[in-house]
Amino acid sequence: MNNQQRQLIKKYVDLVLGRWRLIASSLLLAITIGLGYYIVVPKLYQSTALLSYEQQQINPGKMDPEQGNVKLRESLATLRELVTSRNSLEKVILQFSLYEEARKNLPIEDVIEGMRRNIEIEPAKQGDIFSVSFQGEDPQKVAKVTNALAALFIEENLKYREERATETSKYTQSELALAKKVLDEKEQQMRDYKLKYFNEMPEQRQSNLSQLQALMKQNQDIQNSIQELERTKVLVQEQMNMQRSLASLRATSGDPAHPSVRQTESDADRLLRLQAYLEELQGKYTENHPEVRRTKQQILQLEGKVGKGGGARQTASPGASRASLAASLEAGRIEAQLKQLDINIQQLREAQAKIPPQIDQYQKWIAAVPTREAEWTSFTRDYSELRRHYDQLVAQNLQAQSVENLERNQKGSKFKIVDSARLPEKPFKPNFLKILLVAVAAGLGASFGYVLLLDFIDTSFKNVGELEEYIGVPVICSIPFIEKEAETRRERMVFRVSFVLIAGYAVLLMGAIAFMWIKGMVIV
């Protein structure tokens, strides 16, 4: 540090010491003004209530702490607006007769806005706890209003959650009914379409192919059977023609002069036929059947005729008679076989005639499958999305009903007062320490500024250096100021009186502050 810097510091120290009475007086005056301001300014009291956010009691394990904090912040953001709304705060103001002077001079909107500024809602840094604070001039009203706001939080939360759950349930029900209506209409259209084109649907293609192959195989089998029966018929007809030729030869080789012989052979042939017919009837019917009884009577009559013509049969050749009877029986059997073949062929042809239309029908169904598949795809393109939306709405509706039941039974998330607001014992504002520090800073700043201003205005030389710097000539010698004894005594007297007055006032001021501290009138 050079000599010039030391001279500068000495200058300012001398200024402070020379003006100490001014500085001390300014400081005490500023403290007095601050104390007076603190005494005069209205005191504000603050009361705080603690509330906790209780998560829902059902399935609490699904909610982690971070999610709970998020829900708390979301609930606070919503409920803050509800609690501090105009209707809610206006009711509280009228209930506790708050801001009577302000209500006489200001609109109710300004009064409510001023009350909002006096309300503080702060969540805790950790846990599901938050505080509700209110400040005012009347400590009793402050405590009551704080508890009322806390109760209003609980009331609004329950009402808001129940209304929201009810509205959500109604909304999901209406959406579910609408989605069900649309889905039912879509399903009805799908059912009508499927019933109309059931055999042409893609899922029936394999079955139609199997049926078509079966019909084609059946048609081929019937055709093969018809061809086989026709070949058999040709063989039987050839056999019948051969039998007729043999019978004609026998007839031409016999004796036409003996009619009794031909008559006997004819009756015997008829007798054999009736006996064979009787055996067939007995295999189907009982002995009491009219046809069986009539056939037996005819057989008895023919046996009598054949017995009377025994002599004639003796004149005829026994071998020729048996041959004629066998030929007649064989001819009847062949004729019956031909009739049966014709019947079977006719039945097969009738069955075969029914198959081509069925084949055509199945071929049309199979050919229409790609068209129906494309139509069905475009027709049901949005069905899966409608179904998924409907299932989601069903789940949401069930969840909304469960939430509504929980809220009605007050089993959902809710607020609970942990610590109710108490009557404040000392003011919250203004803070005396802050006012005192501001007063001290203002007093010191004003006094130092005034001292510097006086020094700046004073143009006299304070030391040799200033004189040398001003005139540019070195000073050879300086004569110190010599005070008289009377001046010294007067100066000492003034110093003592000033010190006593300033110290006494300072002690008095500190005593007043201490008294107010003891009485609880001072807030630090």
Helix (H, G, I), strand (E, B), or coil: what is residue 522? coil
pLDDT, mean over the chain: 77
| 61 within a domain of the structure (yes/no) | yes
| 123 within a domain of the structure (yes/no) | yes
Helix (H, G, I), strand (E, B), or coil: what is residue 26? helix
**Same domain flag for 411 and 451:** no
| 60 within a domain of the structure (yes/no) | yes
Q: Which of the listed residues 356, 374, 392 is the one where a domain comes to its end?
A: 374
Report residue 256's pLDDT band, with 50, 70 and 90 as the boundaries: very low
Which ranges of 254-381 does DSSP label H, i.e. alpha helix? 259-284, 290-308, 310-315, 318-367, 369-379
Residue range 327-335: mean pLDDT, rounded: 72
| 524 within a domain of the structure (yes/no) | no
**Same domain flag for 253 and 319:** yes
What pLDDT was estimated at residue 496? 83
For residue 362, what are the contacts with CB-CB under 8 A and spacing of at least 6? 208, 211, 212, 215
**Same domain flag for 17 and 66:** no
Q: Which of the listed residues 347, 374, 401 is the one where a domain comes to its end?
A: 374
**Same domain flag for 449 and 490:** yes
What's the first-to-final CA gap in the chain, in angstroms? 42
Q: CA 322, CA 134: separation in Å to the nearest integer?
A: 140
**Same domain flag for 219 and 265:** yes
**Same domain flag for 151 and 175:** yes
Q: Of the given ranges (19-23, 246-250, 369-373), which has the lowest mean pLDDT? A: 246-250
Chain centroid to CA 190: 27
**Same domain flag for 442 and 406:** no
Report residue 320's pLDDT band, with 50, 70 and 90 as the boundaries: low
| 511 within a domain of the structure (yes/no) | yes
**Same domain flag for 186 and 142:** yes
- The DSSP output letter for 258 is -
Chain centroid to CA 367: 44
Report residue 259's pLDDT band, with 50, 70 and 90 as the boundaries: very low
**Same domain flag for 26 and 76:** no
| 150 within a domain of the structure (yes/no) | yes
What pLDDT was estimated at residue 152? 86
Residue 342's domain is classified under what CATH number? 1.10.287
Measured N-to-C along each axis, helices 20-40 and 485-518 cross at an angle, to the nearest 10 degrees, of: 20
The label of the residue with tokens 């005490």 reads 28
What pLDDT was estimated at residue 258? 42
Ranked by mean pLDDT, the top range of 267-276, 277-286, 500-509 is: 500-509
Q: CA 321, CA 324: separation in Å to the nearest integer?
A: 5
Closest CA to 161 of 358, 500, 410: 410
Of residues 261 and 461, more confidently modeled: 461
- The answer to whether residue 312 scores a pLDDT higher than 50 is no
Check: CB of residue 418 under 8 Å from CB of residue 51. yes
- The answer to whether residue 413 scores a pLDDT higher than 70 is no
What pLDDT was estimated at residue 397? 78
Question: What does each C-alpha distance from 333 to 237, 240, 265, 474 come to in angstroms?
Answer: 12, 10, 19, 179
- CA atoms lying within 13 Å on the CB side of residue 189: 13
Report residue 266's pLDDT band, with 50, 70 and 90 as the boundaries: low
Ranked by mean pLDDT, the top range of 109-113, 237-241, 447-451, 463-467 is: 109-113
**Same domain flag for 220 and 357:** yes
The label of the residue with tokens 């006494």 reads 504
| 523 within a domain of the structure (yes/no) | no
What pLDDT was estimated at residue 41? 80
**Same domain flag for 52 and 85:** yes
Helix (H, G, I), strand (E, B), or coil: what is residue 119? strand
For residue 157, what are the contacts with CB-CB under 8 A and spacing of at least 6? 75, 79, 414, 415
Ranked by mean pLDDT, the top range of 43-57, 192-206, 407-421 is: 192-206
The neighbouring-strand residues paired with 49 are 132
Closest CA to 222 of 355, 118, 94: 355
Check: CB of residue 275 under 8 Å from CB of residue 332. no
Q: Of the given ranges (175-189, 466-480, 482-496), which has the lowest mean pLDDT? A: 466-480
Residue range 99-105: mean pLDDT, rounded: 87
Token output for 349:
């042809």
> In residues, how long is the chain?
524
- The answer to whether residue 393 scores a pLDDT higher than 80 is yes
What tens digit of pLDDT does each residue of 419-459 get? 888 888 777 777 778 888 888 888 888 888 877 787 777 76
Of residues 368 and 54, more confidently modeled: 368
What pLDDT was estimated at residue 523? 60
Phi/psi at 84 (5° precision): -90, 15
Which ranges of 121-204 does DSSP label H, i.e. alpha helix? 139-196
Indicate yes or no: pTM above 0.85: no
Check: CB of residue 143 under 8 Å from CB of residue 48. no
Of residues 282 and 499, more confidently modeled: 499
Token output for 319:
């071998």
Phi/psi at 383 (5° precision): -70, -40
What tens digit of pLDDT does each residue of 133-147 get? 998 888 888 999 999
Residue 168 CB coordination number (10 Å): 17
Token output for 452:
């510097």
Helix (H, G, I), strand (E, B), or coil: what is residue 188? helix
Helix (H, G, I), strand (E, B), or coil: what is residue 414? strand
Of residues 347 and 307, more confidently modeled: 347
What pLDDT was estimated at residue 67? 42
Closest CA to 74 of 50, 55, 48: 55
What tens digit of pLDDT does each residue of 58-96 get? 543 343 333 444 566 676 777 788 888 888 888 899 888
Put residue 99 in one of left, alpha, beta given phi > 0 → left and psi -120 to 50 → alpha: left
Q: 488: domain range?
A: 3-40+430-518
Q: CA 185, CA 207: separation in Å to the nearest integer?
A: 29
What tens digit of pLDDT does each residue of 29-56 get? 888 888 888 888 888 888 899 888 776 5
Q: Provide the domain count of the chain.
A: 3
**Same domain flag for 52 and 127:** yes
Phi/psi at 473 (5° precision): -125, 135
Q: Which of the listed residues 350, 374, 398 is the one where a domain comes to its end?
A: 374
